[in-house]
Amino acid sequence: MSDPLASDRLAPPTPGQLRRLMGAEGLRPRKSLSQNFLTDPEALDAIVAAAELHPGDDVVEIGPGLGVLTRRLLAAGASVLAVELDPRLAEYLRRELYGVDRFELVEADALSLHPREFFPGRPIKVVANIPYHITSPLLHAFLEGERPPELTVLLVQREVAERVAAPPGRMSYLSVFVQNVANAEVVARVPPHAFEPAPAVESAVLRLRRRDRPAVVVGPTREPFYRVVQAGFRQRRKQVHNGLTRELAIDREVVEAALGACAIESDRRPQTLTVDEWACLTARVEPLL
């Protein structure tokens, strides 16, 4: 068998080569699974560079597809746990990467497992070109636990990446949720022609670096925090005091006092608040929820 990590096999296939390979294997991208295979070397380089890999790093890859990114991760010295839902692609990967050290394949839905089950007590990174339709639930699944991944690098829809990494002034519930536990940044943009088949949207490489300490730690305080933030963003066009008063059914005077205690002007809108300001507000109104 040829070496799956030989230098000539680390180069991503051209779109034409990929189509011929899929034809020979009887594979067709499944739209229901958001299968768009990355073929652009610059985009692959950007993902691997963003992951800051060192030999021996434990990496979870979601949706490895045909193993193009997988080979790059292995060549960088990482130990890769690949999670593939599609049984056709899982079978292909078993054949292609059979016997490769530091590679393990799990045929499963990534939303049904947590990476730390496979690497107990060890730091992990998540690096993946994920199916775009599961971006939000995947972020919730991986960031909700007591020990989120140290570093997460995802190729996602550009609009979503920019929403996650948005600064105060353009914040949303999703950006507050993610930035509570991780520092988020968009490190590269990826055009549709970098994929086969080409998606209808632009993509971006999103890097999430776990915060040393979340603004709101895991535990009983997390649920009130989400409730307060969700209440604020249900009325995102209104001043924050109006939204919280209406959605949480709390007296206006109490909300105004909480805002004052947190040094938040009462005429601010929810998208302008920082994660720490939401945390402060939650601490002030939590006894009334």
Is there a contact between 279 and 215 (Cβ–Cβ < 8 Å)? yes
Asked if 154 and 77 sit in the same domain, the reply is yes
Q: Which of 151, 183, 210 is the last residue of a domain?
A: 210
First-last CA distance in the chain: 63
Does 170 lie in the same domain as 59? Answer: yes
Q: What is the pLDDT of residue 217?
A: 66
Whether 247 is covered by a domain: the verdict is yes
Mean model confidence pLDDT for the chain: 89
pLDDT confidence of residue 141:
87
Q: How far apart are CA 15 and CA 93, in angstroms?
A: 19
Do residues 232 and 110 both lie within one domain? no
Structure tokens at 240: 């924050």
**Claim to verify: residue 194 and residue 242 sit in the same structural domain:** no
Q: How far apart are CA 115 and CA 83, in angstroms?
A: 10
Q: Could you tell me the residue range of the domain that residue 264 belongs to?
A: 222-288
| Same domain for 259 and 150 | no
Cis peptide before 148 (omega within 30 of 0): no
pTM of the model: 0.90
- Residue 173: Cβ within 10 Å count: 19
Is residue 232 domain-shared with residue 194, that is, in the same domain?
A: no
The pLDDT-based confidence of 120 (bands split at 50, 70, 90) is: confident
Q: Assess whether pLDDT exceeds 90 at residue 182.
A: yes
54 plus 189 within the same structural domain: yes
Q: Are residues 185 and 256 in the same domain?
A: no
Could you tell me if 235 and 142 lie in one domain? no
Tally of domains in the chain: 2
